[in-house]
């Protein structure tokens, strides 16, 4: 899933350099030479979601999935070539205006998918840690995680048209072909994000009724698994309670989501939760100065965005930039070593500059 809010140059660079060329640069040692001669002074905060095989298509957009084999390649390469630090340590150094090691990276995960447990175990084997941002009200056995729920529900609708009514306005979504059903996932996702939480929930009920009785696959972590991840040395952060689009949730709803997630995670795990990640990046207006204020006043120490760029001394600690990760190792290293010269943070509409 391509992250919006990036300057045009990296997209052109990406398309101009063929995969074979990126692979050759990696294997010939060009990236290593570049990293040694011109080390990065900024921070690459990597943004993962799901680590899964083909089964991940049942609950996650393919663009946010990385296979377990590829993830282990990423982790091994990062462990051998970069200064991978826990995000809270990076935040502390940035706040105190202290220097960071050259070629610094941090690893983060959004959402709280069940496959993240094995990812944490992989990280621990290589001596690394990551920050896992958890949707605290949607772990296994609780409220279904709506971005994952809509996929099997739309697949189960038998009518050629899905009709949903939100705040008195009807939307008709065609489902006659496989392409229309793929498009319907995006349409319903945008619709759910566009409304306050009570309207979102009413839309979910309509979708469930249209789909009939559907057994949802397990896709989210359990609390005991999350506790294991913390014991493995992972940082547990907050990703709200139910993954709303916070600017559309209303002031009270947004505050409940931000504060409630922190309180729930701290109560269940017995740890202090200081890191936050804004849900629903991409083209949508998913954060505002008002939302950042709520996050800051709740007691978090930093928050990450989906803005595709490198973080550093220029960054707002409550609007930290991250790098969207792709499957192939060559793409990751190309981003770290080449795109760092071109990626400039371009705020989306309403973002904290």
Q: Give tens-digit pLDDT for 212-249.
A: 988 888 999 999 999 999 999 999 999 999 999 999 99
pLDDT > 50? residue 8: no
pLDDT digits (tens, 9 = 90+) for 322-346: 998 999 999 999 889 888 877 665 5
249: DSSP letter: S
**Tokens 């946010």 belong to residue:** 64
Distance, CA of 272 to CA of 262 (rounded, Å): 8
Distance, CA of 319 to CA of 310 (rounded, Å): 12
pLDDT tier for residue 3 given thresholds of 50, 70 and 90: very low
Query: Can you read off the two tokens belonging to residue 195?
Result: 């409304």
Q: What's the average model confidence in pLDDT over 43-66?
A: 93
Q: What's the average model confidence in pLDDT over 159-181?
A: 95
The interaxial angle of helices 68-81 and 329-337, nearest 10 deg, is 40
**CA atoms within a 13 Å half-sphere pointing along the CA-CB vector of 54:** 0
Q: List 311's β-bridge partners, or say none.
A: 43
pLDDT digits (tens, 9 = 90+) for 258-268: 999 999 999 99
pLDDT > 80? residue 153: yes
pLDDT digits (tens, 9 = 90+) for 286-326: 999 999 999 999 999 999 999 888 999 989 999 999 998 99
pLDDT tier for residue 19 given thresholds of 50, 70 and 90: confident
Distance, CA of 85 to CA of 107 (rounded, Å): 8
Q: What's the average model confidence in pLDDT over 113-140?
A: 97
Query: Can you read off the two tokens belonging to residue 190?
Result: 């945008």
Handedness of CA 106, 298, 348, 109 (dihedral sign): positive
Distance, CA of 214 to CA of 345 (rounded, Å): 42
Q: Answer whether 13's CB lies under 8 Å from 317's CB.
A: no
Is 100 or 17 the better-scoring residue by pLDDT? 100
Query: Can you read off the two tokens belonging to residue 57?
Result: 């298509």
Q: What's the average model confidence in pLDDT over 141-158?
A: 94
Distance, CA of 226 to CA of 137 (rounded, Å): 13
Distance, CA of 285 to CA of 283 (rounded, Å): 7
């Amino acid at each position: 899933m391509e992250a919006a809010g990036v300057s045009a140059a990296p997209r052109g660079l990406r398309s101009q350099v063929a995969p074979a060329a990126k692979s050759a640069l990696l294997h010939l040692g060009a990236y290593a030479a570049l990293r040694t001669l011109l080390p990065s002074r900024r921070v690459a905060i990597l943004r993962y979601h799901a680590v899964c095989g083909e089964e991940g298509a049942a609950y996650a957009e393919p663009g946010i999935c990385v296979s377990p084999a590829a993830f282990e390649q990423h982790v091994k390469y990062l462990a051998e070539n970069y200064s991978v630090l826990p995000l809270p340590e990076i935040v502390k150094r940035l706040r105190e205006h202290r220097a960071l090691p050259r070629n610094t990276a941090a690893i983060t995960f959004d959402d709280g998918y069940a496959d993240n447990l094995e990812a944490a175990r992989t990280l621990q084997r290589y001596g690394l840690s990551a920050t896992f941002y958890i949707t605290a009200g949607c772990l296994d056995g609780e409220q279904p995680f709506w971005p994952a729920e809509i996929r099997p529900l739309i697949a189960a609708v038998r009518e050629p048209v899905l009709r949903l009514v939100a705040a008195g306005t009807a939307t008709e979504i065609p489902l006659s072909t496989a392409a229309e059903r793929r498009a319907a996932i995006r349409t319903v996702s945008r619709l759910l994000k566009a409304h306050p939480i009570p309207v979102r929930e009413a839309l979910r009920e309509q979708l469930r009724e249209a789909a009939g009785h559907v057994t949802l696959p397990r896709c989210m972590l359990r609390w005991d698994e999350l506790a294991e991840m913390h014991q493995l040395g992972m940082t547990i952060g907050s990703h709200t309670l139910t993954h709303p689009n916070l600017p559309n949730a209303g002031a009270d709803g947004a505050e409940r989501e931000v504060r409630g997630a922190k309180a729930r995670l701290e109560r269940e795990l017995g740890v202090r939760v200081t890191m936050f990640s804004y849900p629903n990046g991409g083209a949508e207006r998913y954060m505002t100065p008002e939302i950042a204020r709520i996050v800051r006043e709740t007691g978090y120490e930093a928050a990450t965005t989906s803005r595709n760029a490198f973080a550093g001394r220029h960054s707002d600690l409550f609007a930290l930039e991250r790098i969207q990760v792709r499957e192939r190792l060559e793409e990751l290293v190309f981003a770290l070593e080449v795109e760092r010269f071109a990626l400039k943070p371009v705020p989306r509409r309403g973002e904290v500059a």
